[in-house]
A and B are shown apart, each in its own frame.
Chain A
Amino acid sequence: MNAQAPALRDPRLNRPEPFTPRDGGFFQRDRSVHPPAYAPGYKSSVLRSPRQALLSIESSVSEVTGPVFGHNDLGPLDNDLIRNYAKDGDPIGERIIVHGRVLDETGRGVPNTLVEFWQANAGGRYRHKKDTYLAPVDPNFGGCGRALTDDTGYYYFRTVKPGPYPWRNFVNSWRPAHIHFSVFGSGFAQRLITQMYFEGDPLIPVCPILTTIPDKDALDRLVAPLDLNASTPFDSLAYRFDIVLRGQRSTYFENRTAGN
């Protein structure tokens, strides 16, 4: 993989340009790695999926741009789910670190981008007024957090491993343990929500939501491996989850009004 693309060469001048903003629009989304809108095994997709084809439009400034976030938007405990809702102690559960990089399809790290995450507690219960599962809420666990990636696209947070939980799809449907992720990227067209699963979970191959993904490799990339090298001895295990957003093209020879 190219960690860094070579400096672009302007063929008219035959000299390298020092820096070229990558504002030429995003790589076309490869829909074969994503679940289809209509996936009847996941029953609520049936009424919530368009029947008309999507209309493809070239990236314009509306799509290449997106919201910019900064450290002012975050609090000091936002990436620490063990402490950010602690009332009278730590939450119950397996202490874990989740870490990784946000990259684009060219392998470049996506710096300074917002990553948000939310999850159930160790017993599979969400802190949400609409969740009525009989497993109890944990008084010291909220279940959400957020982080900005650093200059290399790296993020990390600390939490407890979520438990599986039942849901009304088939009579006996259970979600694998998972953490929901929301990622922005540099342009609004890179916006992505996904779910991270845990290596070795036997519920993964029977989950009607996860198996909406037709591509086996794409599915496997949502499964975070255990990362003993990143664990903290006598404190926390660690899982590694890298996230890939759409790549971005350079503007080469478009009929543009602003210079590259």
Chain B
Amino acid sequence: MPQPLDYLKETASQTAGPYVHIGLIPAMAGFDIFEKNFSNVLVTPNTQGERVTLEGKVIDGSGSPLRDVLLEIWQANAAGRYNHPADRSAGALERDFRGWGRGGSDFESGVVTFETIKPGGMTDKTGRKCAPHVNVWIVARGINIGLNTRLYFSDEEAANAADPVLNLVEPPVRRKTLIATRGERGGKVVYSFTINLQGSDETVFFDV
């Protein structure tokens, strides 16, 4: 018998439930409690980079939008640098761009939006170029453990074609589930995305 290793076990996940807003977005639950609230707006007037809106829905296996879903995004700044000490790449760090935001879907339409900037591409630890992308984490009633996916950008075709993560997606036809579509509305850039939890065109989810 080998001696056992003494690692601890990760705490088990549980669903965020239908009232996740109470803890994470109290204004959506219908009350005001904290002096400072987190939000779906990542930019300040000083933030460098192209302002973009990410706008999308999460769809269940019946084709219906989730109207109680909560998304968080995590991304690099316009120079491709994450605001975290473990990113020691060369791009300039912006102290006031945290790179993280949280948004709940509208209770009627199911639409989730983020006001952010388009991130720069980065180089991974083996020296490969990564296409600009936003990491997305999805929790809701009925989701027992948060789902991880990524949003890439439809106007980055060359970078997407070389991206080491997109190239792991088999069959290749599924890669398009990770691409947000660039459009314009009222002079603002809007990237539209749909996250399909189940069925045909199911979005690629990662075990990160």
Contact = CB atoms under 8 A, between A and B. Distances in A.
Given A23-B86, A117-B23, A45 B98 contact: no
Nearest to B29: A128
A244 interface: yes
Given A44-B141, A59-B208, A182-B24, A128 B19 contact: yes
Nearest to B125: A256
Contact of A67 (B11, B31, B99): B99
B80 to A, nearest CB: 9
Interface in A174-207: 180, 182, 186-189, 191-195
Contacts of B82: 61-62, 65
A215 B9 CA distance: 11
Nearest to B30: A129
A153 interface: no
A39 B144 contact: yes
A16 interface: no
Contact of B74 (A21, A128, A188, A213): A188
Contacts of B165: 57, 60
A4 interface: no
Nearest to A254: B125
A56 interface: yes
A213 B135 contact: no
A192 B135 CA distance: 15
B144 A45 contact: yes
B14 A194 contact: yes
A31 B31 CA distance: 36
B120 interface: no
Given A64-B86, A85-B33, A180-B20, A213 B12 contact: yes
Interface in A201-260: 209-210, 212-213, 215, 217-219, 221-222, 243-247, 251, 254-258
B8 A105 contact: yes
Interface stretch (B44-52, B58-66, B108-116, B182-190): B58-66
Contacts of B20: 118, 180, 193
B13 interface: yes
Interface residues of B, number: 84
B31 A127 contact: yes
A67 B83 CA distance: 7
A7 interface: no
A130 B7 contact: no
Interface string B117-160: 00000111111001001010101111111111010000000000
B204 A126 contact: no
B92 interface: no
A160 interface: no
B62 A255 contact: no
Interface string A21-65: 101001111110111110100101111111110111101111111
A91 interface: no
Contact of A65 (B16, B84, B126): B84
B206 A56 contact: yes
Contacts of A23: 86
Given A37-B144, A55-B206, A180-B17, A60 B130 contact: yes
A107 B7 CA distance: 7
Given A34-B12, A54-B205, A49 B23 contact: no
Given A49-B197, A106-B8, A128-B19, A193 B208 contact: no
A116 interface: yes
B207 A34 contact: no
B169 interface: yes
Contact of A103 (B8, B98, B207): B8
A75 B137 contact: no
A251 B88 CA distance: 14
Nearest to A242: B11
Nearest to B177: A52
Contacts of B29: 126-129
A33 B142 contact: no
15 contacts: A28-B207, A30-B9, A42-B142, A47-B198, A52-B202, A61-B87, A67-B100, A72-B36, A116-B24, A117-B23, A126-B19, A130-B19, A186-B84, A217-B9, A245-B10
Please give me the 3 A-B residue pairs with the lowest Cβ-Cβ distance, nearest first: A118-B23, A44-B142, A67-B100
